[in-house]
Each structure stands twice: as C-alpha cells, then as structure tokens.
C-alpha cells in the first residue's frame, strides 16, 4: 500500500509541474504576441521624436538671441505642429502617456 500511495503522490507532483510549465509557456507566448501585435500604438508613443525630420541623423535648431524678441516658447515633447515652437501639444501627450513635459520658455530679463 505504501508504494502505491508514493506513486500517486509522484504522479500528482508530475502533473502539477507539467501544468505550471504549460501555463508559464502560454503566458510567455501571450506576452510576446501582445508586444508584437497589440502594443504598436502605445510603444510608438514612448518614442521621443515620432515624425519631425526623421531623414536627418540628428535634429538641431539654433537661434540668435537677438532674433528671439521678448519671449520665445519652444516645444520639448516633439509633438508640436509648429516645431520647434510650442503649440500646446504637450497637454495631449501628457494625458495619453502620463508624462509631465512642458515647453521651454525663454524671455528677456527685465532691466
């Protein structure tokens, strides 16, 4: 009787190990499928520059201080339609991603 009980316990352990292995494999495949096929929009939102001058290896803008006037507001979220100037697109970007980016504001010091 003792041998039969021991064999039954070993069979149950083997069944549990097989079930856990199968569940872990299915979870891994499901996660990889999610990342590959369903996560495209959200994963692209994490990219800093989604569309501005993508043909250039590096996007650089330079301005002379004299040309800025009293105040200039520059985009830091890369979503502005008037880039490099801010158009307020960071508000929507922050809502969608949970980010907290805002514009760079440069203004002349009052004398």
Positions marked catalytic: 58
65 secondary structure, DSSP code = G
Angle at 92 between CA 86 and CA 97, to 5 degrees: 115
Residue 80 · residue 53 · CB < 8 Å: no
Q: How far apart are CA 105 and CA 69, in angstroms?
A: 12
């Amino acid at each position: 009787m003792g041998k039969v009980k021991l064999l039954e316990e070993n069979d149950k352990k083997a069944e549990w190990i097989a079930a856990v292995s199968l569940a872990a494999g299915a979870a891994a495949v499901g996660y990889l499928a999610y990342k590959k096929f369903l996560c495209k929009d959200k994963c692209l939102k994490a990219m800093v520059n989604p569309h501005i001058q993508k043909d250039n290896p590096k996007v650089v803008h330079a301005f002379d201080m004299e040309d800025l006037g009293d105040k200039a507001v520059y985009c830091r979220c890369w979503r502005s339609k008037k880039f490099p100037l801010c158009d307020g697109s960071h508000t929507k970007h922050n809502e969608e991603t949970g980010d907290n980016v805002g514009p760079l504001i440069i203004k002349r010091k009052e004398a």
